[in-house]
Amino acid sequence: MSFGRARFIFGFLVAPIVLYAVYVLYPYGQTAYYSVTDFSGFSPDYSYVGFGNYVELFSDDVFLRALGHNVVVLTVYPVVTILLALFFAFMLNVGGRGDKAGVRGVRGSSVYKFIFFFPQVLSIAIVAVIWRRVFQSNDGGMINSLLMKLGLVDKDKPLLFLAESDSVFPPIHIGNFVFEAPVVLVCLILIAIWGGVGFYLILFSAAMQSIPKDIFEAATLDGATRVQTFFRVTLPLLREHVSVAWVYLGIAALDFYALVVGMTPGPGGGGPNDASQVMSSYMMSNAFRPARFDSFAFACAMGVSIAILTLLFAAAQLRITRSRDKLEF
């Protein structure tokens, strides 16, 4: 019986494991191998160069600038998305008036949830088309057109938005690293927040609905305000969900490829003048639009570096979460 069960389990697992090894693990290993060679992507002749690509990578000004952009996105995008999702989820589920039946959610909350979630059903291509029209840097753009009609913007000098490379705050230089927030990158972050809030609103709403309403009613009877209820009751009970959301949003912030390529100028996105360049877009530009013939191995080194940074971020976040749980226990 034991042997038959093992054979049955093995029969179901062997195909997924083989497919995962062939289409996921093997490409990862191949990328790591090519990253320590001078493989051009075209010629089958290449040689081992050790960590030369990695040394060159962290002396490349564009890559360091792209890394700084990813850090800015990682700092802003997850925090704002989670805060907005928590606020709207709390208001929709516990923001209604209390009565004899207890604390109620806002009337029509299901409609609001659908509206917030709607961006999730749109493909990135549709999102790019919509927001390019909104941020268009002439009188055909929705924002520029509105501001011109209000007399706040001169018709001959429209706001550039996606074509603006100036930073919204003075760049911060730490060694060779540059941390800045160009206007075009801020626009992309706002779009990402618009698209992400709805999903995490639904996630947090489902978690809030699993909390017994008696807890909220007891807090209300004890005289707690809605703000106190949120910080003292709701937020502690949602800590695990917030941690999961932080990991997912952090991984998305370290990627950020689709919006950059779909919305910014340049052959592979990242424009103007690399103002919206992130690590993933720069990697793809080097791999498939090479500025030099030996850049494929250089791009592989970028891919390995991005993977390591992503794993370190996820591990650090999970470690912090577990440490807090142990301290509270």
Q: Do the domain assignments include residue 227? A: yes
Q: Do the domain assignments include residue 28? A: no
Give the pLDDT confidence of 11-24 residue by residue, as tens digits. 778 888 899 999 98
Look up residue 295 and give its two tokens: 């850049």
- For the segment 87-109, the average pLDDT, to the nearest whole number, is 69
DSSP-derived secondary structure letter, 163: G
Split into its structural domains, the chain has a count of 1
CB crowding 161-183: b at 16 or more within 10 Å, else e: bbbbbebeeeeeeeeeebbbbbb
CB crowding 204-226: b at 16 or more within 10 Å, else e: bbebbeeeeeeebeebbeeebeb
Give the pLDDT confidence of 224-278 residue by residue, as tens digits. 777 788 888 888 888 888 888 998 999 999 888 888 988 888 777 788 888 889 9
Give the pLDDT confidence of 204-223 residue by residue, as tens digits. 988 888 877 778 778 777 77
What's the pLDDT score for residue 101? 46
Which of residues 4 and 31 earns the better pLDDT score? 31
Band (324; pLDDT cuts 50, 70, 90): low
Q: Do the domain assignments include residue 178? A: yes
State the residue for tokens 């925090």.
79
Give the pLDDT confidence of 182-201 residue by residue, as tens digits. 999 999 999 999 999 999 99
What's the pLDDT score for residue 302? 92
Greatest Cα pair distance in the chain: 81
Query: Residue 16, class by beta-carbon neighbours within 10 Å (0-12 exposed, 13-18 middle, 19+ buried)?
Result: exposed
Q: Do the domain assignments include residue 9? A: no
Give the pLDDT confidence of 150-173 residue by residue, as tens digits. 888 888 888 888 888 888 888 888
Q: Do the domain assignments include residue 317? A: no
For the entire predicted model, the pTM comes to 0.86
Q: Do the domain assignments include residue 55? A: no
Q: Do the domain assignments include residue 41? A: no
**Beta strand ranges found along the chain (DSSP E):** 98-99, 102-103, 172-174, 177-179
Look up residue 174 and give its two tokens: 């730490």
Percentage, residues of the chain above pLDDT 90: 21
Q: Do the domain assignments include residue 303? A: no
CA dihedral angle for residue 162, residue 166, residue 172, residue 177, rounded to 10 degrees = 60
Band (329; pLDDT cuts 50, 70, 90): very low
Look up residue 116 and give its two tokens: 């917030």
The CATH number given to whatever domain includes residue 257 is: 1.10.3720.10
Instruction: Residue 219: name the closest of 103, 91, 109, 101 by CA.
Output: 103
Query: Which structural domain range is residue 84 located in?
Result: 66-286
